[in-house]
A and B are shown apart, each in its own frame.
Chain A
C-alpha cells in the first residue's frame, strides 16, 4: 500500500478512556432545553393558577374557621362562605381532575419523542455512531431528564399538597367542607411523593414506547393509553392491599378511613348478602317509627338498624385502611413506581444497544 504520513494521534489504543459522563449534561440540556422550557411554562402556568385559587381558598377557610358562632347564618353568608365555592363536588380541582393529567402530559410529551424523534428523522444514525456509544448516550439522557422532570413534578406536588390542606384539616366538617378521603383515587397520587413518581413512570413509559413505535405521535398516544391504564388499575386494585387492611367489629370506623369491605356474621358464621338484606329490611319495619324516620336521614336510619342488629347477636365487620397509613402507602407506591421506572430505563437502554437499525 502507499506510504502514508499518518500523524501521531494520541490515545488511539484498543480500549480508549471513555468519554466523560458529565459531557452528557451539556448535550442533554442543549438538545432538550426546548422540551424542558415547555414543561416549565406548562407547570408554571398550572402552578400560578393553583396558587391564586389556593390563596383565595386558604383565606376563605381561615375566615370561616375564625367565624363565631360556628354554623350561624352569619358565618354561612355569601361573603364569608367562600369555602362553599371550593366545596362544590363538581369543582374540577377539588376532584383532582385536572392535576391528574399533569404527570401523563409531562411524561408523554417529554418521554415519547426522546427516542422516537431520533428514529423518525434518522438522526439516531448520527447520535449512535459517536464515540460516546449509544448505551451511555441513552442512559445519560433518560436518567438526567427523568431526574429533572421528577424534581419539577415533586415541587409541583408540594403546591398541590398545600392547596388541598384545608380539605384534610381537622374540624373542617364543622364548616360543612367536603370531607375528602386521603386515599381517594383522584387525590392520593397528587400529594406526597407519588406525583413525582408517576411523572417519572410516565416519562420512562414514553421513552420505551418511542423506541418500540419509532414514531412520535403514535408513541405519545400509546404512552397516554398505557399510563392511563396503569394509573387507573393501580388506584382500583393493588393500592388497597399495600398493607393488610385492619378489620374491626366496631361500628364506629373513623370517617377518614378507607373502607375496603364490610360483611356480617352471626355466631361466627358469615351471613350472606341476600340474607342480610331481608334481615335488615325486616328490622327496619320492626323498629318503632320514630327511630328511623321523621327528620332522621336514611344513613342515620341505617346506623340505627346496624346498632339494633349488633345488640341482637350480629356483628358488622369492616376492613379498612386508616388515614394514618397515608405516608406508608405513599412510600410503597413511590417505591414500586421508582423500581418500575428503573426497570423501564434498563430495558430501553438494553434495546437501544440491541436494536438493529
Chain B
C-alpha cells in the first residue's frame, strides 16, 4: 500500500488561454482522506476531472492507483467519482440507478447499496429528481461505494448540503475509509468540513499547489509565533509562510518543528489546520518555482532550499 493513489508530474490544463492548473506535481499515498482545498477557480475541479479522465492534460501527466493512466479502463475500474452537484438521471428511480450502476461496472454490491439506502430512509422507488439534495448526495455516494472502489473521488460533495446532511455524508465517507480501506480524495472550499476528516492536505491556489502533506506532519512542522511587530522583518530563524500585523504585535506562521528554538521576546503556539490552510491560501502571489511550495512527505528530504515557500525572507 505504499503506492501513490494519485501521482501527477508537471500537470497542466489550459482552457483557451487560461491555465486552470499549472505545473502541478503531487504524490498522494494510499490510505488517506486527502482534502483538496482552495478558493473557487483554484483548479480543484480541474485536478479531479483530470484524475478521473474527464479532462485530458495540456501538459504533464497523471496516473492513479499506482501508475495506471487516468481515465483508462483499469483506472476507472478502481475509482468511483461523485461529481459536483451529484448529477443523476432525474427520470430514473433510486432502484434504477442501482441497476444502472451495477450494469456499468464489473463489481457492484447490490445488498450493501440496498441496505444503506434503507438505513438512510431513501425510498427505492422514488425518482432521483424528487429526492432532496441530501438524499441525492447520499444516493450518489452509495452508488460510488457499492462499486467497491480503491479510490473515492468527491468533488465539492457537501457544498450544497445542510449541516446535518453534511455531517452524515462525511460520516459515511469516514466509515468507508476505516472499514474498507478506501482512499478518498475530496475537494472543498469549506475548510471547517475537512478538519474533522482529512488526514492529508493539498492547498491549491491560483492554479498551483501551495502546500501538500500529511496533516499531522504539516501541523507538527508549522508554528504560530507572536512577537513585537518591529522585529517581524528581521525574523530569520525559519521560512515564514505568512505575516500578520496587528498594532505592535505580529503573528508569523513559520515552518518550524516543535523543538525549534523560539527567539527571545516571541511566543510559540501550535497551529490549527484551518489557520495553516488559510495562511497558504493567503500567502502572497507567486509560487516558488517547482510544483509544491512545501513538498509532500515522500519528497521532503530531497527538496532543495530554493523551492521553499515565499513569504517574508531576510
Contact = CB atoms under 8 A, between A and B. Distances in A.
A11 interface: yes
Contacts, number: 109
Contacts of B31: 1-2, 4
Contacts of B1: 1, 4, 6
Interface stretch (B91-99, B242-250, B265-273, B276-284): B91-99
A325 interface: no
Q: Taking each of B68, B89, B90, B99, which has the highest tally of chain A beta carbons within 10 Å of its own beta carbon?
A: B89
Nearest to A23: B103
Contacts of B68: 14
Interface in A1-40: 1-2, 4-7, 9, 11-12, 14-19, 23-24, 26-27, 30-31, 34
A137 B104 contact: yes
B73 A131 contact: yes
Contacts of A121: 87, 90
A122 B30 contact: no
Contacts of B89: 31, 123, 126
A356 interface: yes
B52 interface: yes
A137 B103 CA distance: 11
Q: Taking each of A9, A129, A357, which has the highest tally of chain B beta carbons within 10 Å of its own beta carbon?
A: A129
Given A27-B100, A130-B105, A34 B91 contact: yes
A309 B12 CA distance: 80
Contacts of B150: 12
A290 to B, nearest CB: 77
B10 interface: no
Contacts of A5: 179, 181
The secondary structure that dominates the A interface is loop
Contact of B99 (A6, A30, A356): A30
A16 B77 contact: yes
Given A30-B100, A34-B91, A125-B81, A131 B106 contact: yes
Given A1-B1, A4-B181, A125 B83 contact: yes
Interface in A103-132: 121-123, 125-132
Contacts of B77: 12, 16, 131
Interface string A172-207: 000000000000000000000000000000000000
Interface string B152-184: 000000000000000000000000000111000
Interface residues of A, number: 38
A105 to B, nearest CB: 22
A8 to B, nearest CB: 11
Given A31-B89, A123-B87, A357-B54, A132 B105 contact: yes
A122 B100 contact: no
Q: Taking each of B30, B31, B76, B180, which has the highest tally of chain A beta carbons within 10 Å of its own beta carbon?
A: B76
B56 interface: yes
B115 to A, nearest CB: 17
Contacts of A133: 73, 76
A68 interface: no
Contacts of B32: 1
B123 interface: no
A221 B81 CA distance: 33
Given A125-B81, A126-B83, A129-B54, A30 B74 contact: no
B210 interface: no
A128 B104 CA distance: 10
Interface of B: 1-2, 29-32, 49, 52-56, 68, 73-74, 76-81, 83-85, 87-92, 96, 99-101, 103-107, 140, 147-148, 150, 179-181
5 contacts: A1-B31, A12-B78, A129-B54, A131-B73, A131-B77
